[in-house]
Each structure stands twice: as structure tokens, then as C-alpha cells.
Structure 1
Amino acid sequence: MTLIDLTAQSLQDRRLATLPVAIIGAGPVGLAAAANLVERGLDFVVYEAGDEVAASIRTWGHTRLFSPWKHVVDPASRRLLEATGWRMTAPDSLPSGAELVERYLEPLAALEPIASRIRTGVRVEAVTRRGMDRTRTANRAATPFLLRVRTADGVDEFTARAVIDASGTYDQPNSLASSGLDPLGLAEVADRVTHALPDVLGRERARFAGRHTTVVGAGHSAANTLLALAELAEEEPTTRVTWLIRTASAVRVTTSEDDELVARATIGRRVDRLVASGRIEVVDRFETVRLGRTDAGVRLHGLRGDDLVEHETDLVVNATGFRPDLDMVREIRLDLDEVVQAPRRLAPLIDPNVHTCGTVEPHGFAELEHPEPGFFLAGMKSYGRAPTFLLATGYEQVRSITAWIAGDQAAARNVELVLPATGVCSTSLPAAAGSSGCCG
């Protein structure tokens, strides 16, 4: 490379450094990234698809997290808040989603250095490099990122020096069908199928009271809904509850005896008691293949081994987990594990067949890097389809990532994380903002 080339490269690098870091998602992990960038004096813009910060968490705000306050507040965010007189709620108490938003995320987002950089009602539709699709290589690392966004006023584009995608997975539920594809007939019964963690005892009570609801899924978000429905059935005796699972038993829910997160450990025992008493009916080893509409509700057609089976219900709750939306980053060069859909170097550390929430090793930018320099998946989205995410993990991710963006290689590589010991951990509740929801 000639001196002229080196000078041109230096100019490109300096121009790139004048651009803001783009953060996608204004939930716990996205706002933690913002707090870390504030501390490092770096400019940024936060793009939030909802009309308010933490929009996805607000939809399941009635649900209490497994993790106490001391594990769900980001250290950098805490420092910024405490400088204004904010104090953490009782560290060992468990917040609900609504309390997390009202007592922590809203005050954090209201801090001037962050509030002035949040853009709500802005959905990022695609990320690429300015003037480059994924096949172009020359000068790629020195070329700004381009974000195409949609607002109420139309479509626009913005440039950024780096991108932290902390948009979560809550808007991307896994399929009810065991094939991973939407089951045949879903469109015909879509009005009778609901997202995970509906507000059974609150704003959606009228929808579920006195009806037969089938909860599909074997994780803790399914268990939370089952407990709420059982409580509703106590008050409305004509309410029926069925738990439909693909396997012979819901191991992830019922084997949490050694879980340091006590609230999560008790869920399996409570569900087991309700099943044993007959208040929750279990349909196991049911592989859904098709849905059909009946006069009263939904008919699920499935396989149990080689046998065709059917199950009729009024309503279905899809609590089968979530997956990342990768269409928006189709022009970005990603290196993802073929199975988990997490960054390839991170995948072995979070494989749910091996790890629980509490056994995930500390990791940072090095495990989250892609062949696209300056682009990172963070928070729940970085875990792909693995349900072992804890908020504390996401906070350490963005601390390391922002250190790398700032050029502080020592801090970026010095990753440390102390997690609570957990039993089998699967919440399958991520929020668009990167929260792990119940798993906390």
C-alpha cells in the first residue's frame, strides 16, 4: 500500500469515527449499550420500533421476572442513574416487567444524554454498507453502515460507524408445528392463537374466562401461563386448561431443584402439583402438523409416533420459544452456527443441550464478532434459538462491545461475569429490546 493509499485510508477511518453508533432496540440491553457509550463519550442513536422504550416488555409487564433487581440493572446504567439521585429498589426483590420499565428503564431513557438520542416509532427494516451489498469487499471495513428505517412518515436511511443489534426475538415466535414451519391452516385460526404470556388475569381475562385454553410449549413461559390459567379456573370454574408438549415430559420446567433463582425453581413444583390434581390436563408427545377451525375454536391435528391424533380447544397459546429475525441483516456478512443461529464462536458456550443460564461462560466482542467489522448481535438476539439468556449476560456483552468500538482493547477483552447458579433454564421469553423476560 502506498503513502497515498495509507493517507486515504486514514481519512476514511476518521470520517467513519465522526458517525454515531447505531443501536437497534431500546430495551434493557440496548439502553445498557447507550449508557456505556455515554460513559465513553461516543455518539450514538437508538432506534426503537415501538412508540415507547421497552415496548415489548410492556406487553408482558404483568409477569414477574425470575431474577432479582441486583441481577437486572446494568452497572453503567446504574452509575448514570445514581449520579442523579436514583436508588435501586430492594436488591433481592423480584420486579415485574412493568416495574422494570417504570422504576429503571424509563428513568434511564429519560437521562438527557440518552433521551436526546432515542428515536421511537422507527423500525429498522435493513442494515447494509453504504453503496455495497454483501458481495463487495474493497474498502468494506472503512465504509459506513447504512440503516433503512420506516416511520409514520415513510422510509429513510441513516449511516453509522458501528451497529449493535439488540432488537431481541419477541416478535419472532417459533412455530407451533414441530417442523419449524407454520402449521398448515394457521391463517384460518389466527384469531384463536395468541402470543406467549398473555395477561390472563388482567386485561385479557374476558378472553380466557370460562373457555378451554391449550398452552403449547415446554419452557417457563408456558409454565407461567399455565399457573395463571389455573388461578383463573379457581375463580371461573368453567375454565379448562390443557398443556400440550412435544416430548414425554417438560424437563426444562420440572428439573430446576438446584436453581439459585428461587422463583424459577418453584414453578415446576407448582405446575406438577396442578397436573397431579387434575387441574391441568397434559397431552404429551404431540407433534402438531395442521390446524383447523371448529365452531367453538381450534382443532390441532398431530402425530404421536406414527399415529394421527387430534385435540380440540377454544384457544391456543403459542409458548414454543422464539427465533431471531435475520431478514433485516441479509446484506450483512454474518457467521452463525447452523443449529442455534448464534454467532459461531458463541454457540458452543450457550448450547442448551450442554449449558444452563448460570453455566454460560463470560463472553464479549471476540465471541460476538462477525466477518462484518463493527456489526454485533447483542442480548437475546445474539443467542439465536438458545433459551439460556440472562440480562446480566447481555450487559457484559455490550460493555465489551462498546469498549472495542472505543478502541479500548484491554477492557474489551477483559470480560467478567458472575451469574446465579441455575438448574435447567429455559424461559423462551425474549423481548424486542433484548430482555430475557422471566429468565431475567
Structure 2
Amino acid sequence: MSALPVVVIGAGPQGLAAAAHLTERGLDAIVVERGDAAGAAVAEWGHVRLFSAWPELTDAAARRLLEPTGWVAPSRGYPTGAEWVEGYLAPLAASLGERVRYATTVTGIARQGRDRVVDSGRAAQPFIVHTRDRQGVEGRIVARAVIDASGTWGLPNPAGADGFPALGETAAADRVSYRIPDDVSAFAGRHVVVVGAGHSATHTALRLADLARREPGTRVTWLLRRGSTGHTFGGGDADDLAERAALGRRAREVVDAGTVELVTGFRVAALASRGDTLSVHAEDGREIAGVAQVFALTGFRPDTSFLREVRIALDPTLDAVAGIAADIDPNIHSCGSVPATGARQLAQPEQDLFVVGAKSYGRAPTFLALTGFEQVRSVVAHLAGDHEAAARDELVLPATGVCGGAGGFDAEAGGGCCGAPTVLQLGSRPVSVG
């Protein structure tokens, strides 16, 4: 099968980096992207500024591929998603040329002539990657290996606290958003609710706080499921990523000033229409009325539907790759305590199938872009037969200033796996945001 290509699913940061590594090692790559352009998912949050600086947002093999074209790696500043696409992802995809196929959705992966049940001769058969283009035309790509870097952007978690949409959430779809807003002016003078405790929720709360300062009568309520603020405001001065620390500080300031009302222990059970507004109900009976819009920013989950005919091992809690789940469990770890992961940890029961990038983390929220770059470097080295390079660890993680995981769910409680925060260096690897 050595003459067959490696199929990479997704033309985002990790998928394109994988293709760059494959190209550098002389392996044929085909990148299949459902969007119309490189970084299509990133472009959907193009208005959001990353808290990682430019040097942490580009892959080494990608830089080596781009530099002969006259491209110069940005060295300073914190790009928006749109700037990341324009300044790096789009040029990288252009350099890869016809290796990248757009407007093509992967609908299934299997071993040739064998469903998931058949053992006999399985590893000797190539993969068949089933696709469908924008016109509905179906296709098949024969591959020696598959790297799934399709991410989680397409499956946001619901507002409902038990993992399913809250009662009435689907019916209220026109007043519930699962994305960070850009222009929030339409909510001037109205009551807006943000659900979630991560960086997306923080970004949204801050955008709405700016609106509330400009437009009297604008009310912002921020709902946390946990019984305490926990690590909502990050690690402050102990965070090695300055912009991430600043995000947390600004969030604390708007809450302390009363611009944003923070409510803890609020687990959404139902959304009910009340004329032109919504009423948000918690499991404990509390109600927040007169809501014009709900921003449910509670994380994402992976789509594994097209993997149903191959043998994969996912953690039953996180939907993450089983081999890395214990190291990324958000109940235990923060970004600064998560070790690097490579081909060995990412290996699946289906030989030469790898899930990388944000999708490898499942529902865990601690993924950083350069963590993914290191994953694909190791995986491609393994596929090239360079097992020494595959086993080598080249990742350095910036400390978060947060020790351990998310802490207690029902009340203020510690949780954790570490002492004083430190920069965790594992070999010599790099990291960033994604």
C-alpha cells in the first residue's frame, strides 16, 4: 500500500500541518475539506482574537514549505481568526495546491471489502474513504492511512446541563446561539444570558459588557453550572500566556463592577417563551425572565458517525482518544499540566488510523494549537517509518497559573494534580491556542 496516499480529513490548522509534514517526508497526501476554503471553521470565528501569539500558531514543517515562496512567518502580535487564515492557513493551503480538495464531506471510512466485524486480513487492506461533494456526487478515495483532523466545531454542546438540549431549547432556536457573537448592537437595552465557563463564554460576556457600558438598560447575566467561580477567571499573573491572563482579568473586572451579573450553580433545565422573550429555568427551580437571547457556549463534542465501520477506542467519559484521556481529563488537569501526545498515545485499534487535533481531545477543553502540531509531527514520522522521531517529545506548554482541574462541581472545592504552577517542559516541544 506504500504507493497509496495518506488521507487527511480537515483543512484546518492541524490537517494542513499534517499535509505539510507528509509532503516534506515525500509521502502523498490528500486533504479533504468540507468547507469552500482552508480554515473554514476558523473563519467562522474570524472576529475573535486568539490569546496565543503568532509564533505559537504556525507549524515548523508548514513554515519550511512556505518560506521558499517568499512567505515570512509573522513574529509578533495576537491575530484574530480571520488574520490567522489570511496570514497562514490560506497561503499554506495554496502551497499544498491540488492536494487539498474543497467542498467535499467525508461520509465514512472503512477497510476495503470489510466492515468493522471482519478480522481476516484486515490490516492488509487499504482504507476506503467515502465522500460526497456539494452537488451530492459520491466518491471513494483509496488510502494507506487516515488522519482525522476534522475538529469539533460542527457539534457544539447544548445549553441543557445534562448534555441534551434543555426543554424548549430546540423550539427556541432563533433565540439561542452557540457561537461567539461579532456585532452585539441588536441587544442594546435588552437582557442577554451567557451560559458557560470557558474562553468562548468569557469572550462573549466581555463583548456584551462593552455594549452594556455604552447602552443603558442592557443587562448581561452569566450562568455557570458549577457551584463556584473556580478557574473561570484563569491564572492571572501566573499565566504564561499574557493575553489569556488579560482575558480573565477583564472578566473579573466586569463582574466585580456589576456590569455582568455572575450566577453560579445554575444548571439549565428549560427555556420557555414568554411573548418576545425567553425564561430560563434551572434544575433547582430558579428562573431568569425577560431574556432576549441566550448564548450557550458550553464546549463541543466530536462527530464520530463516519468512523462507525472502523475500530476506534474512545474514552467513555470524554469521547477523547482513549490513549490520552487520563492525561487531559479537565476534572484533573489544566492546560499547563497536560503532557504532550504523539503517535503512540494516539494509536487506534485500527492500524494506521489516527484522530488528532481538537477531535482527539473529545469534550476536554484544554486543547492548544501547537499541541496538535506536535501530534501530527509524531504521527507522520510514524507513518514514514521514523520511529525515533515519532517517539521524540518536542512540546513545551505554557503554564496556565491554574493548578489542576476544574475543582468541585457543587461547591467551592479544590481539585488538582500539582503544586505551584510551573512551565511544564516535556522534551523540547511548543504550544498555542486553537
Q: Determine if the TM-score, normalized by the shorter chain, exceeds 0.5.
A: yes
Higher mean C-alpha deviation, range 382-391 or range 252-261: 252-261
Which residue, 245, 256, 260 being the options, matches 1:280?
260
Q: Is the 8 A contact 1:23 1:164 kept in 2?
A: yes
Summarize deviations over 1:19-38 as a string: whole Å, max 9, x none. Answer: 11111110100000010011
Q: Is the 8 A contact 2:229 2:264 kept in 1?
A: no
Deviation at 1:426, TM superposition (A): 9.6
Summarize deviations over 1:313-362 as a string: whole Å, max 9, x none. Answer: 11011110111111121112111111122122211121222222232222
Q: Is the 8 A contact 2:234 2:400 kept in 1?
A: no
Which residue, 60, 66, 85 being the options, matches 2:45?
60
Which residue, 65, 70, 81 being the options, matches 1:97?
81
Which residue, 338, 342, 358 being the options, matches 1:364?
342
Structure 1 match to 2:30: 45
Summarize deviations over 1:47-68 as a string: whole Å, max 9, x none. Answer: 1111111111111111111111
Deviation at 1:372, TM superposition (A): 0.3
Secondary structure (helix, strand or coil) at the match of 2:113 reads coil
Structure 2 match to 1:163: 146
Where does structure 1 lack aligned partners over 5 or more consecutive residues? Answer: 1-15, 428-436
Q: Is the 8 A contact 1:219 1:250 kept in 2?
A: no
Q: Is the 8 A contact 1:245 1:286 kept in 2?
A: yes
Structure 2 match to 1:234: 213
Secondary structure (helix, strand or coil) at the match of 1:67 reads coil
Which residue, 108, 116, 121 being the options, matches 2:92?
108
CA–CA distance in 1 between the matches of 2:401 and 2:200? 16
Q: Which amino acid aligns with 1:27?
A: G
What's the TM-score, normalizing by structure 1? Answer: 0.88
Higher mean C-alpha deviation, range 26-35 or range 295-304: 295-304
Q: Which amino acid aligns with 1:367?
A: Q
CA–CA distance in 1 between the matches of 2:169 and 2:23? 45
What's the TM-score, normalizing by structure 2? Answer: 0.90
Q: CA RMSD in A?
A: 1.9
Q: Is the 8 A contact 1:221 1:438 kept in 2?
A: no
Structure 1 match to 2:399: 421
Secondary structure (helix, strand or coil) at the match of 1:320 reads coil
CA–CA distance in 1 between the matches of 2:132 and 2:368? 30
Q: Percent identity?
A: 48
Q: Is the 8 A contact 2:53 2:432 kept in 1?
A: no
Structure 2 match to 1:31: 16
Secondary structure (helix, strand or coil) at the match of 2:23 reads helix
Aligned length: 407
Secondary structure (helix, strand or coil) at the match of 2:282 reads strand
Change beyond 3 A, Cα 1:298–1:125: farther
Secondary structure (helix, strand or coil) at the match of 2:272 reads strand
Which residue, 302, 322, 332 being the options, matches 1:324?
302
CA–CA distance in 2 between the matches of 1:22 and 1:77? 17
Summarize deviations over 1:145-186 as a string: whole Å, max 9, x none. Answer: 122212122222222111111011111111211111122222
Higher mean C-alpha deviation, range 176-185 or range 395-404: 176-185
Secondary structure (helix, strand or coil) at the match of 2:109 reads strand
Structure with the bigger RCO (C-alpha within 8 Å, sep 6+) is 1
Deviation at 1:310, TM superposition (A): 4.6
Where does structure 2 lack aligned partners over 5 or more consecutive residues? Answer: 407-430
CA–CA distance in 1 between the matches of 2:362 and 2:256? 34
